[in-house]
C-alpha cells in the first residue's frame, strides 16, 4: 500500500537517508525508532512533501506521490506531532474547530470525534482549545485528523508530551483506528514500553540505513 523504493536524502553531501526500501500494509502499526538525528522524521517529511528525495521514489497504491494532486494527497495522508498546536488554533472553540474541519457534516462529526476522546465533548464544545489539558488537546487533535478518513497516519512522537495514562489512552485509540479503519500507521517513538505493547513491527534507523527488529 505504501512503499519507499531506494530512497535517499542528502544534505551538503552528507547522506541522511541512504538507499532505503520498505513496504507498509493496511491494518499495521509500525514503530520507527533510533537516536535523535538518525533520519526518522526525515522519512516522514519525504512522504509528506516537506523534503525532496535525492534519489528513489515513494508510492501509495503503486502511484508515485509526485503524481498525486495535493488535495487528494493531504486528504489521504495526515500527520500528528507531539505538539497538537500544529493543527489546532488558539482562541478557537472546539465547535469552531469541528466546523473548520468538516462544516458540511457537523452533527455526524460530533459522533465520530467522541469515540476518540478521554472527555465528554459536549461539556466542552464551546470552550477554547487553550482550556483543555495536554492529553485532551492531543486526543482532540487526533480526532480531528481522523475526520478526513485518511489511508495513512503519520505519528511523530505523538505521546511524548503526555503523562502515562494519557499516553496509554492515545496508543489504545491509535491501535484501534489502524485496525478498524484499515489504515497504514507509522509512528516515531522513544517510549520503549508502548512500542513493545502496540507496534506490529519496529524499524531501527541508524547511519542512514534501516534494520528490522
From 27, 4, 21, select the one nearest 184 (Cα to Cα): 27
C-alpha–C-alpha distance, residues 113 and 140, integer Å? 8
* Digit-coded pLDDT (tens) for 147-177: 889 999 999 999 988 889 989 989 999 999 9
Yes or no: say if 171 and 196 are a contact pair by the CB < 8 Å rule: no
Q: For residue 29, give the 3-state DSSP assignment.
A: strand
pTM: 0.90
d(CA 93, CA 88): 10
**pLDDT score recorded for residue 74:** 94
Q: Nearest Cα to 174, choosing from 16, 60, 40, 31?
A: 31
List, edge to edge, every strand of the sheet that includes 184-188. 77-81, 152-156, 184-188, 28-33, 201-206, 209-212
Residue-wise DSSP of 130-148: GGS-HHHHHHHHHHHHHTT
Stretch 12-35: mean pLDDT: 95
pLDDT over 90 (residue 86): no
| Count, residues in the chain | 213
CA dihedral 146, 148, 150, 156 (to 10 degrees): -50
- 140 burial class (0-12, 13-18, 19+ CB within 10 angstroms)? buried
pLDDT digits (tens, 9 = 90+) for 47-60: 999 999 999 999 99
User: What is the pLDDT, as a whole number, of residue 83?
Assistant: 83
CA distance 34 to 161: 18
Packing angle between helix 106-114 and helix 134-146, nearest 10 degrees? 130
Residue 78's SS3 state is strand
Amino acid at each position: 500500500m505504501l512503499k519507499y523504493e531506494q530512497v535517499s536524502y542528502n544534505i551538503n553531501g552528507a547522506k541522511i537517508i541512504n538507499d532505503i526500501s520498505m513496504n507498509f500494509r493496511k491494518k499495521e502499526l509500525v514503530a520507527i525508532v533510533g537516536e535523535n538525528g538518525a533520519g526518522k522524521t526525515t522519512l516522514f517529511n519525504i512522504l509528506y512533501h516537506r523534503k525532496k528525495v535525492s534519489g528513489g521514489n515513494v508510492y501509495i497504491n503503486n502511484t508515485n506521490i509526485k503524481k498525486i494532486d495535493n488535495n487528494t494527497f493531504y486528504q489521504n495522508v495526515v500527520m500528528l506531532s507531539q505538539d497538537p498546536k500544529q493543527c489546532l488554533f488558539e482562541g478557537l472553540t472546539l465547535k469552531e474547530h469541528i466546523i473548520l474541519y468538516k462544516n458540511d457534516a457537523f452533527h455526524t462529526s460530533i459522533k465520530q470525534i467522541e469515540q476518540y476522546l478521554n472527555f465528554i465533548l459536549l461539556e466542552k464544545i464551546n470552550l477554547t482549545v487553550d482550556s483543555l489539558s495536554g492529553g485532551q488537546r492531543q486526543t482532540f487533535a487526533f480526532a480531528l485528523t481522523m475526520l478526513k478518513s485518511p489511508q495513512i497516519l503519520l505519528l511523530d512522537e505523538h505521546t511524548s508530551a503526555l503523562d502515562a495514562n494519557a499516553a496509554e489512552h492515545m496508543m489504545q485509540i491509535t491501535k484501534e483506528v489502524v485496525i478498524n479503519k484499515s489504515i497504514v500507521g507509522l509512528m516515531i517513538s522513544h517510549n520503549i514500553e508502548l512500542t513493545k505493547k502496540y507496534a506490529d513491527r519496529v524499524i531501527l534507523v541508524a547511519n542512514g540505513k534501516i534494520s528490522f527488529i
